[in-house]
Structures are given as structure tokens and as C-alpha cells.
Amino acid sequence: MSNPRITLNDGSTIPQFGLGVWQVPAKDTERVVSDAFEVGYRHIDTAQMYGNEEGVGAAIAASGLARNEVYVTTKLNNNRHERAQAKESLRVSLDKLGLEKVDLFLIHWPLPTQYGGDFVSTWETLIELRDAGLTTSVGVSNFQPDHLDLVVEKTGVVPAVNQVEVHPYFANEATRAATVRHGALVEAWSPLGQGGGELSDPVVTALAERYGKTRAQVLLRWAIDRGDVVFPKSTRKERLAENIDVFDFALTADDVAALAGLDKGEAGRQGPNPDVFDWIP
């Protein structure tokens, strides 16, 4: 078994497993992404907000990998939703990444209480950027079911992905179900629960012992077995190698269900609630 590619609703494909560089300091990013390439990663998830696109670009340039061997996602910053600024921002990102085109460009947050509640025109702008050839695919992040419903109703274009917080203590099932119902792919952020406790949960620990894998590997495999894209962050090379070493086992349906049973609903959420998150840098 190896890192499979999943076909998106626009016909392009994405590796199911990658590296997320949220909270990787800019000064460390080139080294971390280079380490990831060395141990087999071929999918990098960054964002304008993370402030480390240059480091991702430097690692890609130094890697010697062909452009079509590396899948690159970036995301629109919260202060760039207005049409002209959104367009300019992707050009700036491409410059920082050293690329002519990214593989996937996302609206990072819907910000329903900002910009007069208008994330539909932001979505239209992303579609224009795709049509202009600056990104292969476009999608959204942190969209709740009603946000997804609205952009699809208004534009008829279904985002390729919806990247949302998902881990066993916050299974986010209603949003996952809405994403799948629309024909978009779920990308699960913070699959290790950001230190929220899953890594020391007794159910996870018991499964890790039974499968002869680490607890992090069990959590990542859970996301993969549910069909989600996953890109755990680590700055440590040995953990980068550990995290991608999840293609020699699979959880049984019962074990997938046991982990889903750990869901605490809203109490398990680690990040902001997208309905009220309004932060603009």
C-alpha cells in the first residue's frame, strides 16, 4: 500500500496524505519541507496566513522534484477576500512559492460576519482564478453546511474540497456529511487533535498496542480509512517519517466506529467556530 491519489470533482487528483505547515516557523519551513520530501511526502498544505510560503517554495526548488510530483495547496488570507485583493494575493503566493500555478487554492475561512456576509463573491473570484489558470482546483476551508449550500446554490460550482477540523474528539460529522453530499472531498485538519488528548486516550492506546503502531499512526489511519485527506504537522524528521508510515495497516470497521464513538461534539473542538470566527490580520 502507498499514499493513494483521490480524484476530485473536477477530475484532478490529490495525494491523500501530506504535510501541513501550520505553526511551522518561517525560519524552519525550508528544512522541515525538505525533510518531508526526503521521507516520501509529495503534498504540502500551506496558507498565506501561515507566513511560510517562501520556505515551502525554497524546499520545492531545492528538491529537484518535477512540478507534477509535488501537490501544493495554499489559502486566501482573511484580509484579502475583496475581489482585486484576492486575485493579487494568489499572484503574490505564486511568487513566494516559485510556482506558475498551485494545485489547490482555498478560501481559508468563510468569515460570515465580515464583508457583509458575502463569501459567495469570494468563491466566484476563486473560480475566476481557476479559469485563468493560476490554480488547478479551488475549494474552501472551515465552511459549515449552510455556507457550502449557499455557494453551491448561487454559483452551481461545488468546491473540490472542504478542509475542516476533524479528529476523534471532534468528528464534525454534520459538516463531513454535507461536504460528501455535495460531492466535495473532506480534508481533515488537526488530525492529531492539537494536544487535545486523543494522543493519550485509552481507546487509541489500546488500538496502537493491538496493531503494533503508534498512537499518532492510529489517529492518522482513522482519518484515511474514513476517506479524508490528512496532513499532520511535525517539525521533527523522525515524526515526519512515523506519520507517513501508515500504509501497511488498516483499521477494521469496528475500530473505526470505536474511535468515532469518542466524539465529544462541540466540546471537542480545538480551533475557532467558523460561524463566529471573524479575525482579520
CA dihedral (48, 177, 124, 15) in degrees, to 10, reads: 50
Rounded least distance, CB 134 to ligand A2P, Å: 28
| Nearer residue to ligand A2P within complex by CB, 85 or 200 | 200
- CB within 8 Å of 45: residues ≥ 6 apart: 18, 19, 20, 21, 22, 73, 163, 187, 231
CA–CA distance, 116 with 122 (Å, rounded to integer): 12
What is the total residue count of the chain?
A: 281
| Nearer residue to ligand A2P within complex by CB, 56 or 129 | 56
Within 10 A of 81 (CB to CB), how many other CB atoms are there?
23
Rounded least distance, CB 172 to ligand A2P, Å: 13
Instruction: Choose, by CB under 6 A, the member of 235, 256, 271, 277 that binds ligand A2P.
Output: 235
Asked about 169 being catalytic, the answer comes back as: no
- CB within 8 Å of 110: residues ≥ 6 apart: 119, 140, 142, 143, 144, 147, 274
Rounded least distance, CB 224 to ligand A2P, Å: 14
| Nearer residue to ligand A2P within complex by CB, 93 or 190 | 190
CA–CA distance, 102 with 10 (Å, rounded to integer): 15
| Site for ligand A2P contains 192 (CB under 6 A) | yes
- Catalytic residue of the set 50, 71, 115, 211: 50
| Nearer residue to ligand A2P within complex by CB, 136 or 190 | 190
CA–CA distance, 11 with 51 (Å, rounded to integer): 30
Instruction: Choose, by CB under 6 A, the member of 5, 226, 239, 269 that binds ligand A2P.
Output: 239
Footprint of ligand A2P on this chain (CB under 6 A)? 20, 190-195, 199, 216, 232-236, 239, 242-243
Catalytic site positions: 50
